[in-house]
Amino acid sequence: MIAWYWYVVIGVVGLIASAVIGLLYFIYRQFVCPSYYYGLEGQASSCSNPCTMRVDPAKFSAIDPSFAKSEDGIRRMELVLSLSDAQPAIVVSTSPLIVAAYTEDMDCIALLDFSELPVAPVPRMNARLVCAAGYRWLQRPVKRRIIAPDLVEGVESISRFDNFIPMIADFISSDRKTLERLKQSIAEDKWKMLETLGPEQLSYDLAPPRDGRPSRCHMPTKGCIGWGMRMTLKALTGI
C-alpha cells in the first residue's frame, strides 16, 4: 500500500509540472510562435496611417519562408499591415545590412539585422523605408510596465506599450505607389531625427539588432527569455 504522503508528493510534483508547462507555453506564444495579432486590433481605431498594401509572395517567401509557406501566411500578413501604422525607417549600415525603425508612440528606435536575409537589391545608406509598426502590451492594469530590454523609451512616449514590432514593408511588398505615398505622409522632421539618432544608436552598441524577419522582429536578440519571465509574473500578479 502506498503511504499517504506519496499522494501529497505526487500532487505537488503535478502542480509544479503544470506551472512550468504553463510558463513555457506563455513564453512560446509571446516570443517564439510567429503570431501576428499582438493586440493590433486594439490599436486599429487609433491607427492614423495604415499600411494597407499587397504582399509580394516572392519577396515574402524569400525573406521569411517558414511563415510565408503557412496555410494563410500571406492573408495574415496583409491583415497585419492593414492594422499597422506607417512609421519611418532608414538604412544605417549596408554591410551588414541594418535598418533603424522608429515609432512615435513609444518614441524609440529598434535596430533590425537583415545581413543573413536575401534582400535584393541592397538599399543604399540612409535609404528611407516604411516601418509597419505594431505594438504589444499586457491586457491588464499594472503598476509599472516592463519595456523590451533593447528599447529605450523616449519622453514623448504615450506610455502604453511594452514592445515595438517593426516590420519593414519595403522588403515584403512591391506596391511602390503605396510605399511612396506612405513615405511622403511622414513628416520630414521625423526622417531627419532618425537619420541622426539611428546611426548613433547603432554606434552605442546598447543591444544587438533584432532579426529582421517579420516572424522574429518582435523578439529582442538578448535578454528575451528573462524579460518573458518577468512579463509572465507581471501578467499573473499585476505588481
Phi, psi of 48 (to 5 degrees): -85, -20
Phi, psi of 30 (to 5 degrees): -80, -40
The number of distinct structural domains making up the chain is 1
Asked if the structure places residue 6 within a domain, the reply is no
Asked if the structure places residue 4 within a domain, the reply is no
Asked if the structure places residue 40 within a domain, the reply is yes
Q: pLDDT tens, 185-237?
A: 999 999 999 999 999 888 887 788 999 998 888 888 876 666 666 666 665 56
For 12, residues 6+ apart whose C-beta sits below 8 A from its C-beta are: none
Is pTM, for the whole model, over 0.85?
A: no
Range of the domain at 103: 34-237
Asked if the structure places residue 126 within a domain, the reply is yes
Asked if the structure places residue 19 within a domain, the reply is no
What is the helix, strand, coil percentage profile of the chain, to 5? 40, 15, 40
Asked if the structure places residue 220 within a domain, the reply is yes
pLDDT cut 70: percent of the chain above it: 75
pLDDT for the residue numbered 76: 81
